[in-house]
Chain A
Amino acid sequence: MQEILGKYSKEKSNLIQILNEVQEYYGYIPENAQVEISEYLSITMAQIYGVITFYSRFTLKPRGKYHIAVCLGTACYVKGSEKILDRAKEKLGIDVGETTKDGKFSLEATRCIGACGLAPVFTVNEEVYGKATVKTLDEAIDKIMENPE
């Protein structure tokens, strides 16, 4: 945390930059991080909370070890990405925004990630699966389930 803060001046306008780094590092914005940011930038906790909840990229709950994001941008939607999302929900038994009990998977519906040329698209952590089908998703999830680590 200190390392992240150290990169920025105490200017209030750095809040979103810092939150982005924290989100990237922890996969969510932990409460104690909020406290530290609040002290560092002299911004109230309420203001920080307001900013976190405004932007969909910031989350207050930890994500699963494997974060699956299905694109519901227009290009992907038109190519049937909703079916892939439905399948992911069914297979993992969770809804969008949730994490499986064992903390392994979490699911998100994203807007365009800019790979529309390959629509429909979903991602597992950093890896992008283009021209995806329900089958691609099944295989991706099965692969993770079979190899626990």
Chain B
Amino acid sequence: MKTLEEINKIREEKRKELDLRINTSADTREKHILVCHGTGCTSSKSTQIIENFRKIIEEKNIENVRVIQTGCFGLCAKGPIVIIRPEDVFYAMVTPNDCEEIIEKHIQNGEIVQRLLCKDIDNKTVQKLDELNFYKKQKRIALKNCGVIDPENIEEYIAFDGYKALEKVLFHMTPDEVIEEISASGLRGRGGAGFPTGRKWLFTKMAEGDQKYVVCNADEGDPGAFMDRSILEGDPHCVVEAMMIAGYSVGANKGYIYVRAEYPIAVKRFQKAIDSAREYGILGKNIWNSGFDFDLEVRLGAGAFVCGEETALLESIEGKRGQPRLKPPFPANEGLFGKPTLINNVETYANITKIILNGAKWYSSIGTEKSKGTKVFALGGNVNNTGLVEVPMGTTLREIVYDIGGGIPNGRDFKAAQTGGPSGGCIPKEHLDTPIDYESLQAIGSMMGSGGLIVMDDTKCMVNLAKFYLGFTVDESCGKCTPCRIGTKRMLEMLEKITEGNGQKGDIEKLENLAVNIKAASVCGLGQSAPNPVLSTIKYFREEYREHIDFKECKAGECKALMKLSIDPELCRGCGLCKRNCPVDAISGEVKQTHIIDQEKCIKCGTCITKCPFHAIKG
């Protein structure tokens, strides 16, 4: 247990001690070796890297050096990442065997280990994180502490203004003032729908009830998205603090966070954050003598996408099958165990403390007219810099894909990007300059979604993509209502037919009709949005659907049944790469001569297409 005075003292002392984390000219003799311990880097052995560093430091008896685990730095594609502070030197793709050299050269002799520096897209070697193009257009609000602090150490969180917003709220603001501030900031839900957060808080506050709950949605079901996970892994306390502020504002003293069981590290770190907050007297009864009680509990999901839908999530917390409820009543009035409940997404919460501390005015100065602040995206697919990026609303897709993401690998062309996952839509080349905000994305038939942003190059077939998403929805439909259960299956069957070369005239129109019906008649958002990927690919790539149906042709070469591969003699230079990589020896040809494919033998695996450095092989 710590009093508020003690917490403030910790903040002051720790802040001085940790100045080197954010200040390259910090007055210190210490060095901190920050090692990314997010999911990406952990899976490429960053735990071992941390152990090695610690062992070597101990063996060599080096003083004034600390090894710190942090959350994700964002540039996961270049992981495992190690950063040395205060000088802010950034090493990429570090292996456990590199630790010794880093210690001997860098820490002991002040020499930079050149070979571990990262090369930027323009081939310049970069020393500091901020110098990378990847970071230049980013603005970190929700991810402010990710990669700066040790997420398992509450005092490091406290050092960087942690639990200061809670203090401000408990002692200097009424619940109404807090809600007013959040409303004025213009913050909208980051879980997908973009509902104004302040208004949701107000509804929950106004609802009648002896008991109310605050819930955090950390189900993160969009496959290919990991923003929420990274926040929970890199800065769990900021979500704890925000949920407490929400509890104070709406009149709830109990909170639940619903996390996917597939995220063990996030679960563990969040639990640890709860435990430390209790130990420090931040969670519990009569917090800092303010009269406010609050406690938190973690609940695990169990692999059902529909449980990300808020009412299904509540069912699941109650221990039941996660089937959505009919709305209204909305959770704000009848939520968890029938009580008024506030549900927000992880990233929504991650913005709260910053709004309280810096003011609504500051927050609303960032972004576009109707979409304020920043949005975190998980950038993936055919793009050079895959990872986590946070940009001001209004940034264009082109800036994200080319300036931050470094463009498309292997000299390929951009074809489309998908936002909003299985509920969203694709954005084709002609809309690359669309500013990313809620309204603009909707206007072009996609949606913001939770933040998955998958880039596709010209080897990707859009009909196949639509089939992929439909396959997902069919698997995940909870089965409660017929249009969604049966309708999506129908659509999937039609898409399968088309990709197998059995499409018929009129199929496109049939798909469109079905889509409209499913959207109109489904109970929950899953069914209502399931046809979106089909509709948007038809909207922008109707010609491609036609080619599949009328000419039984898949130009991208992904639909195997339609593939007839051939090598363009004009482009082939006879390098033999295709031949060496073909698993069934279907390619023949002499060095420096045009190669040819034996159609009988070819199993249409597509390997040769991606291997040919001259793009000579076409489907």
- Please, what's the 1-or-0 string for A114-132, where 1 marks a CB less than 8 Å from any CB in chain B? 1111110100000111100
> Which listed residue, A50, A57, A75, A128, touches B224 by the CB 8 Å rule?
A75
The answer to whether B302 and A114 touch across the interface, beta carbons within 8 angstroms, is: no
> Is the CB of A83 closer than 8 A to any CB of chain B?
yes
> Is the CB of B223 closer than 8 A to any CB of chain A?
yes
The answer to whether B224 and A17 touch across the interface, beta carbons within 8 angstroms, is: no
Given A57-B303, A74-B452, CB of A115 within 8 Å of CB of B39: yes
Give CA–CA (A50, B322) in the complex, Å: 11
Given A16-B316, A78-B456, CB of A118 within 8 Å of CB of B321: no
The answer to whether B418 and A117 touch across the interface, beta carbons within 8 angstroms, is: no
> Is the CB of A12 closer than 8 A to any CB of chain B?
yes
List chain B residues, Cβ under 8 A from A79: 381-382
- Please, what's the 1-or-0 string for B106-122, where 1 marks a CB less than 8 Å from any CB in chain A? 00000000000000000
Give CA–CA (A112, B308) in the complex, Å: 14
> Is the CB of B388 closer than 8 A to any CB of chain A?
yes
> Is the CB of B508 closer than 8 A to any CB of chain A?
no
Give CA–CA (A78, B75) in the complex, Å: 19
> Which listed residue, B322, B421, B610, touches A54 by the CB 8 Å rule?
B322
The answer to whether A114 and B226 touch across the interface, beta carbons within 8 angstroms, is: yes
Given A16-B300, A116-B378, A117-B79, CB of A111 within 8 Å of CB of B223: yes
Given A78-B456, A117-B40, CB of A57 within 8 Å of CB of B380: no
Given A13-B319, A114-B229, A117-B77, CB of A78 within 8 Å of CB of B43: no
> Is the CB of A19 closer than 8 A to any CB of chain B?
yes
Given A20-B302, A83-B605, CB of A75 within 8 Å of CB of B380: yes
The answer to whether B299 and A118 touch across the interface, beta carbons within 8 angstroms, is: no
* Residue from the set A19, A72, A113 with the largest chain B CB neighbour count within 10 Å: A113
> Is the CB of B498 closer than 8 A to any CB of chain A?
no
Shortest Cβ gap from A9 to chain B (Å): 12
The answer to whether B43 and A119 touch across the interface, beta carbons within 8 angstroms, is: no
A/B interface sample: 15 pairs, CB < 8 A = A55-B303, A55-B322, A57-B261, A57-B302, A73-B223, A75-B378, A78-B456, A110-B262, A111-B221, A117-B77, A117-B226, A117-B386, A118-B40, A119-B380, A130-B44
Give the 6 A-B CB pairs with smallest separation, nearest first: A117-B76, A73-B223, A128-B43, A75-B380, A74-B224, A55-B302
B residues with a Cβ closer than 8 A to A are 39-40, 42-44, 75-77, 79, 220-226, 229, 261-263, 266, 299-305, 316-322, 337, 378, 380-382, 386-388, 418, 421, 452, 454, 456, 460, 468-469, 472, 478, 605, 610
